[in-house]
Homo-oligomer: A and B are copies of this chain.
């Protein structure tokens, strides 16, 4: 059965290629430029091959989103681990989150703006999404304060970061003033 194994390996490899190419194209020229024709041309296969891996364009977006969620969790945990004390951890987490959104706008869109057909905050929510939320909760739970549910606090803090990330990228907030915003948010929201 070695032949089938090789085929399976090649198939998995091609699937990774599709997702990586879609992500690359989206970061270069925006998601509007990610058409099934262009994507197929870039991976040097015809369009129907895409549909043998994914149900449609939505699922490809979803795959990029999952990849991004895992990377976001890593970035957030790394920033938290590099800081001393609860306040520094939360500030580092906030900077890492906003930095990720700024550096990977297309991936961030796939995660939170576009319809990737993913279930959020439900039983069948996929692991990377739950884990990204867990990564936030780990550091934010330290500064929730008494009488407040850490989950609720994390949701509110996350929503604030999400709003900042979104409005910044829409040109609403000048990117050079990120730091005072983070300071204000952490000073007021976090209980240290």
Chain A interfacial positions (CB closer than 8 Å to B): 112-113, 120-122, 148, 152-153, 155-156, 158-164, 166-167, 170-174, 177, 180-181, 184-185, 188-189
The contact sample of 9 A-B pairs, CB cut-off 8 A, is A121-B172, A152-B181, A155-B181, A156-B181, A158-B163, A159-B167, A166-B166, A188-B188, A189-B189
Residues A164 and B159 in contact, CB atoms below 8 Å apart: yes
Given the complex of chains A and B, what is the CA–CA distance between A180 and B159 in angstroms? Answer: 14
Tell me whether A166 and B162 are in contact in the complex, defined as CB-CB below 8 angstroms, given that A152-B181, A184-B156 are known contacts: yes
Point out the residues of chain B lying under 8 angstroms from A181, CB to CB: 152, 155-156, 159
Interface pair B167/A155, CB less than 8 Å apart: yes
Q: Is the interface of A mostly helix, strand, loop or mixed?
A: helix
Residues in B neighbouring A185, C-beta threshold 8 A: 156
Q: What is the bound-complex CA distance between A164 and B185, given in angstroms?
A: 15
Q: Do A152 and B172 have beta carbons less than 8 Å apart?
A: no
Q: Smallest CB–CB gap between A135 and chain B, Å?
A: 16
For the complex formed, measure the closest distance between the CB of A157 and the CB atoms of chain B, giving whole angstroms: 9
Q: How far is the CA of A164 from the CA of B160 in the complex (A)?
A: 7
